[in-house]
Structure 1
């Protein structure tokens, strides 16, 4: 089974320095991962996969997570305070989901997921 057709359950995300670890249950295949071209995401460049709020648990380093919000203050973007790695964010388009950094998933090389579709964040539906 290819990496893009897998559904990963109880997967771990870690930041670069190891101060933060998350446990997530991905309920969609990694082939559904995407990038966004909004002003923030295009600078960050991370590929994200979706999880429900209840399917993400901070297992290490909650106090080492920093939150960044901008514009409508709806989306909440979480980073490791030490190494700066983006871990996850509560979505503006669906506040009942998190987007998680596919590059932080242990055992997953984002290079193996190609092509990666782009989400039109410049023309976000909430801005209409």
Structure 2
């Protein structure tokens, strides 16, 4: 296997985003309440529900593309779906980072950077 590192990073991203999307989908009300408080002093305070929906959709798209990318790499060394999964992961993480910085949650923003590094590595390797 020539793509072990790419497969491992795509699996990491897939698990991270699918689990996060699952959590948002099945615990919507709890997430929404917490986020409304989290963003209560930001310009997003009246748009938290819509922002949460956008993040949910992007996380699910990212996770699904990463799963398909793993399968594609294993079956025929194809990189297209993995590449798009990594790109969508980066876009999603940038949006999450923006929200954390806007809310002045610098510890949360720092955590997102930890996820962003392997996502960018995947974009580079799969390009």
TM beyond 0.5: no
Larger Rg: 2
In the superposition, the TM-score normalised over structure 2's length comes to: 0.27
* Structure with the higher helix share, 1 or 2: 2
Greater strand proportion: 1
**Please, what TM-score do these two structures have when normalized by structure 1?**
0.27
